[in-house]
C-alpha cells in the first residue's frame, strides 16, 4: 500500500493544496486591503485548506487513514499571527466537531497545539529575515508537538495510534512543512522588497505630489529636525465631479488634473509643498495646531483660489475646476489612509448640515470666534487643544450627524 499510485497521488494533491496557500498569501498581502483585513482573509483561506485536508485523507498503509490538517495551522501561526490563527483554528475545530468520532477531543487539542507551536517558532525567529532550510526543519519539529495530544485518547485507541500513526505523521510533517514554509517565506521576502521599492518612489508620476509612505516619512523627518510644527490634522482637497471633468479634458491631461490643482495652491498656505496625492482626485496637506484654528478660512481660500481662474489645456477650451475641502485629525505615526477612513460621506455631511440648520461658515465662526482676514494661516499661539476643537465641532453638529 505504501508504494501504490493512489497513495502518492493523494499525497501530491494534498501538497498542491498546501502550496496554493502561497498564491493566496502573495495576492492578499500585495492587495489594497489593510493589514488586518488581509490577515483575516488569509486566516479564512488557511482554515479552508485545513477543512479540505480533513476531507482528503491519505492511507499510507492498510487501515491507517491520516490527513495534513495540522500543517495549515502550524503555518498560519508561523507566518500570519494570532488573529488569523484564531480564525483558522475556529474553522478547523468546527470541522472536526462536525466529523465527530472517538478522537474528536484529541484532534481539537492537536490543532490548538499546532497553532501555538507556529506562534512560538515565529517568536523565536522573528529577527531572522531570510530563514534557511534548517529553521524550516525546526518549524517541522516544533509543529510535530501536536502529536502530544494523543494523551487524551482513550484506550485502546491510544496504544494503536502510538504504534501505527505517530511515525508516519511525523515523517509527513518533516516532508511537507519545510517545503510550504520555504515558499511562504520567499513570498514574504518578495512582498518586503516590493514595499521597499514602492516606498522609494518619492513622487507620483502624474501629479508630482508625494506618495503616501514618502509623505509620512517626510513629515516625521521635518518635525524631528524642528523644521516643521507637529501636525494636528490633514487638509483633504478633493476635485468635485472628477469623473465628469475627466471626460471634458484631453486624454493626456486626465491623470494630471490633480497636479494642476497642486501647482496652483503652492505657496497659498504653510507646508503646501508637503502634499500627498491619494488616487486621482485627492490631495492631502498637513496642518499644525495654529493652522487648525484657522482651518475654516484656509478651506475657503483654497476653494476660492482653485476656482478663481480656469485651467488652460492645450488646443482645448479652458475649463473651471472646483474642489471641496475637509479636515480630519491626524498625528505622526498614523497612516494617512487610516485617517481618511474617518471622513464622513458627502451624503452624511449634507444631512448633518440640514438637520442642524448651520452652514459651514457659521460652524467655523462659532468654533474659531475670530474675525475673518485675508490671511491663510494663523500666527497667534493655539489656545485650545486639538481634541477640544473637534469636540466643539461634534457638539455643534449634534447627535444626528453621527
Q: How many CA atoms lie within 13 A of 287 on its CB side?
A: 31
For residue 23, pLDDT beyond 80:
no
Please tell me the predicted confidence (pLDDT) of residue 260: 84
Task: Kindly list the strands in the beta sheet with 231-239, ordered across the sheet, starting from the edge strand earlier in the chain.
Answer: 276-278, 282-288, 231-239, 323-329
Please tell me the predicted confidence (pLDDT) of residue 55: 82
Q: Can you name the residues that pair with 68 across neighbouring β-strands?
A: none
Confidence of residue 315 (pLDDT cuts 50, 70, 90): low
Query: 335-384: per-residue pLDDT in tens?
Result: 887 777 766 655 555 554 454 444 444 445 544 444 444 444 433 444 44
Q: Tell me how far apart the alpha carbons of residues 329 and 292 are, in angstroms, rounded to a whole number.
A: 10
Cα dihedral sign, 347-349-354-360: negative
Confidence of residue 400 (pLDDT cuts 50, 70, 90): very low
Domains of the chain in sequence order: 5-200 (1.10.1760), 212-401 (3.30.70.270)
Q: Which residues contact 23 (CB under 8 A, 6 or more apart)?
A: none
In residues, how long is the chain?
A: 402
Please tell me the predicted confidence (pLDDT) of residue 395: 44
**113 and 146 in contact (C-beta within 8 Å)?**
yes
Q: Tell me how far apart the alpha carbons of residues 43 and 37 are, in angstroms, rounded to a whole number.
A: 10
Confidence of residue 8 (pLDDT cuts 50, 70, 90): confident
Nearest one of 373, 280, 291 to 327, comparing CA atoms: 291
Q: Residue 54's Cα: distance from chain center in Å?
A: 31
Average pLDDT in the 107-111 region? 91
For residue 51, pLDDT beyond 80:
yes
Of the candidate ranges 54-68, 112-126, 170-184, 234-248, the one whose mean pLDDT is the lowest = 54-68
Residue with the larger pLDDT of the pair 90 and 36: 90
Q: Tell me how far apart the alpha carbons of residues 303 and 148 are, in angstroms, rounded to a whole number.
A: 68
**235 and 327 in contact (C-beta within 8 Å)?**
yes
Please tell me the predicted confidence (pLDDT) of residue 381: 41
- The Cα-based distances of 110 to 2, 66, 121, 211 in angstroms read 25, 13, 16, 46
Average pLDDT in the 5-28 region? 74
**234 and 336 in contact (C-beta within 8 Å)?**
yes
Residue with the larger pLDDT of the pair 260 and 29: 260
For residue 216, pLDDT beyond 60:
yes
Confidence of residue 138 (pLDDT cuts 50, 70, 90): very high
The average confidence (pLDDT) of the chain is 78
3-state secondary structure of 282: strand
Confidence of residue 137 (pLDDT cuts 50, 70, 90): very high
The x, y and z cell numbers of residue 246, run together, are 475627466
Nearest one of 28, 330, 335 to 199, comparing CA atoms: 335
Please tell me the predicted confidence (pLDDT) of residue 314: 66
Alpha helices per DSSP H over 100-164: 104-124, 133-143, 157-164
* Angle, helices 35-54/82-99, rounded to nearest 10 degrees: 30
Place of cell 453638529: 397
**124 and 143 in contact (C-beta within 8 Å)?**
no
Residue with the larger pLDDT of the pair 303 and 13: 303
Confidence of residue 4 (pLDDT cuts 50, 70, 90): low
Query: 264-286: per-residue pLDDT in tens?
Result: 888 788 888 888 888 778 889 99
Amino acid at each position: 500500500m505504501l508504494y501504490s499510485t493512489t497513495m502518492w497521488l493523494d499525497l501530491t494533491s494534498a501538497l498542491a493544496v498546501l502550496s496554493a496557500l502561497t498564491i493566496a498569501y502573495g495576492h492578499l498581502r500585495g492587495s489594497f486591503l489593510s493589514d488586518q483585513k488581509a490577515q483575516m482573509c488569509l486566516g479564512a483561506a488557511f482554515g479552508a485548506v485545513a477543512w479540505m485536508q480533513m476531507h482528503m485523507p491519505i492511507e499510507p498503509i492498510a487501515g491507517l487513514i491520516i490527513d495534513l490538517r495540522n500543517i495549515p495551522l502550524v503555518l498560519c501561526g508561523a507566518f500570519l499571527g494570532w488573529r488569523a490563527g484564531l480564525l483558522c483554528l475556529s474553522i478547523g475545530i468546527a470541522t472536526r466537531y462536525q466529523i465527530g468520532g472517538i478522537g474528536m477531543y484529541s484532534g481539537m487539542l492537536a490543532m490548538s497545539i499546532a497553532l501555538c507551536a507556529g506562534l512560538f517558532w515565529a517568536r523565536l525567529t522573528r529577527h531572522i529575515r531570510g530563514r534557511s532550510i534548517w529553521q524550516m526543519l525546526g518549524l517541522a519539529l516544533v509543529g510535530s508537538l501536536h502529536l502530544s495530544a494523543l494523551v487524551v485518547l482513550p484506550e485502546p485507541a491510544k496504544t494503536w495510534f502510538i504504534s501505527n500513526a505517530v511515525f508516519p505523521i511525523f515523517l509527513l510533517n518533516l516532508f511537507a512543512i519545510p517545503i510550504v514554509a520555504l515558499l511562504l517565506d520567499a513570498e514574504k521576502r518578495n512582498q518586503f522588497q516590493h514595499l521597499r521599492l514602492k516606498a522609494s518612489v518619492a513622487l507620483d508620476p502624474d501629479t508630482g505630489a508625494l506618495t503616501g509612505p514618502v509623505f509620512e516619512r517626510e513629515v516625521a523627518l521635518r518635525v524631528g529636525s524642528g523644521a516643521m510644527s507637529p501636525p494636528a490634522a490633514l487638509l483633504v482637497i478633493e476635485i468635485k465631479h472628477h469623473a465628469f471633468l475627466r471626460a471634458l479634458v484631453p486624454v493626456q491631461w486626465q491623470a494630471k488634473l490633480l497636479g494642476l490643482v497642486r501647482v496652483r495652491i503652492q505657496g497659498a498656505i504653510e507646508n503646501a509643498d508637503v502634499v500627498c496625492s491619494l488616487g486621482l482626485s485627492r490631495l492631502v496637506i498637513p496642518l499644525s495646531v495654529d493652522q487648525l484654528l484657522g482651518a475654516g478660512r484656509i478651506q475657503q481660500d483654497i476653494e476660492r483660489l482653485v476656482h478663481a481662474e480656469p485651467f488652460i489645456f492645450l488646443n482645448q477650451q479652458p475649463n473651471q475646476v472646483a474642489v471641496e475641502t475637509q479636515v480630519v485629525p491626524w498625528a505622526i505615526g498614523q497612516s494617512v489612509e487610516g485617517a481618511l477612513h474617518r471622513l464622513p460621506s458627502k451624503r452624511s455631511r449634507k444631512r448633518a448640515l440640514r438637520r442642524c440648520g448651520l452652514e459651514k461658515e457659521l460652524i467655523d465662526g462659532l468654533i474659531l470666534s475670530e474675525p475673518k482676514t485675508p490671511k491663510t494661516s494663523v500666527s497667534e499661539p493655539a489656545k485650545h487643544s486639538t481634541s477640544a476643537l473637534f469636540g466643539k465641532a461634534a457638539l455643534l453638529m449634534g447627535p444626528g450627524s453621527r
